[in-house]
Amino acid sequence: MASSSANIVGVHYKVGKKIGEGSFGIIFEGINIFNNQQVAIKFEPRKCDAPQLRDEYRSYRILNNSKGIPKAYFFGQEGVHNILIIDLLGPSLEDLFDWCNRKFSVKTVIQVAKQMISRVEEIHEHNLIYRDIKPDNFLIGKPGTPEANQIYVVDFGMAKQYRDPKSKVHIPYRDKKALSGTARYMSINTHLGTEQLRRDDLESLGHVFMYFLRGALPWQGLKAPTNKQKYEKIGLKKQTTSINDLCYGYPIQFAQYLTYVRNLKFDETPDYNYLIGLMDKAMSSIGLEEDAHYDWMDLNNGRGWDAALNKKANLHGYGNPHPPQQRQQRQQAQHSPFQNPQSSNNRNSSSSKLVQYQKNVKKTRSKSLSIGNYNSIPQDAGGQFNPYNGPQAYRNGNHQQSGMIPVRDDGDLHSDTSSFNERRKNRSCLSRIFCCI
């Protein structure tokens, strides 16, 4: 370490308290000793199985000055660690979701969705796909700043170049790919082993939107003897859960969103403006206007979120949402840059409620409910759900009438977050991400 007594790294950054940890390292708060700028400092052991900070740093360089992307100030080695220094931001959307009792209002989800779609579009415009969409990797800005409620994307360790930056030649179609990402949110095609592309990032976003609206997804809490079997069950549940069922009770535009992105061709360029337009239509359908007010701003009697007042943060920030397993914790303790690591507690799951949830679905599905003045979801002549007529129809005003899918009570269904963190299987492609730099 450059100065163990003062905890100085990267020449002029002083390391402070720990603010997060994950399977691949620890994140500390820090400060630039010359200008007092607050930063986040990520540590990973140099001898870990799948180092990712170098790749992440290169992604930040590619995305430099992009809206909603933190600035990277330093990457280098300190003793037995690689370190990456980036902007210090606020809590993750997962933490805010917890503090809001694991349910966001439709209005908040719509406003969040528009920002998230725009961030992913920006990443795609820079020839990268993200490949690990989840609420833990989207953070808001620092409190007390104009960007306090601006959404940022962090943790680009799984990012991959999907086309040549100059020629724009697309990577070829491949199947039988090793799974990468977070099982809860990954696309159906990813479960099937298809090469991930822009459409998969956007489908994962759609799953995140429904997670925020519903409080949980139907494939949470599934049990299996092994992780491989569990991931297979999650993939099967996604395939057998219709968009109609998944979006039951919420503005039809969320169903249209998922239908559109799931029908994109392998190398097709998504119509991001159409997707953002769907969110505008959803806002109109509930009779509200976008005002940049979010549910977490109402916490603590309107004072907003406060980690000191709300329940303890999950230490999920900066893209490390999953507390390491015991073996990994011991390894981190051996390589810890400081002697104060504290493991965050795993969130308790309530997967036993899945059976009751399915029973409730059958009961409520038999009822024809209406919400306020909204019509139930339109159907085609055969009685089948048909939420999407395409972007051109949308622009021409030939889209289906806005409506609400009848609501159902899915109970207080929580679950563990299942993630594919076995990244060493994917290092061969990660090592080629930035070959053009």
Query: What is d(CA 100, CA 296) in angstroms, rounded to the nearest whole number?
Result: 6
Which pLDDT belongs to residue 312?
Answer: 54
301 near 309, Cβ under 8 Å? Answer: no
132 classed as catalytic: yes
Instruction: Calculate helix-pair angle for 252-262, 198-214, nearest 10 degrees.
Output: 160
Which pLDDT belongs to residue 177?
Answer: 85
**Structural domain tally of the chain?**
1
CB atoms within 10 A of CB 295: 21
The reply to whether 354 falls in a domain is no
Q: Name the region of 179 (left: φ>0; alpha: ψ -120 to 50; beta: rest).
A: beta
Question: Is 47 labeled as ligand-binding?
Answer: no
Query: What is d(CA 167, CA 222) in angstroms, rounded to the nearest whole number?
Result: 44
Residue 268: DSSP 8-state: P
Q: What is the mean pLDDT of residues 78-98?
A: 95
| pLDDT tens digits along 137-163 | 999 999 889 999 999 999 998 999 999
Q: 94-103, 267-276, 363-372 — which is least confidently predicted?
A: 363-372
CB atoms within 10 A of CB 398: 10
The reply to whether 421 falls in a domain is yes
Structure tokens at 131: 């490949």
The reply to whether 149 falls in a domain is yes
The rounded radius of gyration (Å) of the Cα atoms in the chain is 22
| pLDDT tens digits along 359-377 | 443 444 333 323 333 333 3
| pLDDT tens digits along 117-130 | 999 999 999 999 99
The reply to whether 279 falls in a domain is yes
Using the CB atoms, write b or e for 251-281: b if 16+ within 10 Å.
bbbbbbbbbbbbebeeeeebbbebbbbbbeb
User: Which is higher by pLDDT, 382 or 207?
Assistant: 207
Burial category of 4 from C-beta neighbours within 10 Å (exposed 0-12, middle 13-18, buried 19 and up): exposed
Tell me the CA end-to-end span of the chain in Å, nearest whole number: 29
Q: Name the region of 290 (left: φ>0; alpha: ψ -120 to 50; beta: rest).
A: beta
Query: What is d(CA 174, CA 266) in angstroms, rounded to the nearest whole number?
Result: 10
Query: What is d(CA 151, CA 62) in angstroms, rounded to the nearest whole number?
Result: 19
The reply to whether 137 falls in a domain is yes
User: Which is higher by pLDDT, 235 or 386?
Assistant: 235
The reply to whether 274 falls in a domain is yes
On the question of pLDDT at 304 being above 70, the answer is yes
User: 126 — phi, psi (to 5°)?
Assistant: -95, 20
CATH number, position 136? 1.10.510.10
State how far the alpha carbon of 422 is from the alpha carbons of 24, 182, 228, 250, in Å. Answer: 11, 11, 12, 35
Single pTM value for the model? 0.74
Catalytic residue among 55, 87, 98, 132: 132
Domain range spanning residue 161? Answer: 93-302+410-428
The reply to whether 39 falls in a domain is no
What stretch of H or E contains 277? helix 272-285
3-class DSSP state of 281: helix
The reply to whether 76 falls in a domain is no
On the question of pLDDT at 410 being above 50, the answer is no
Of 394, 124, 139, the closest CA to residue 274 belongs to: 394
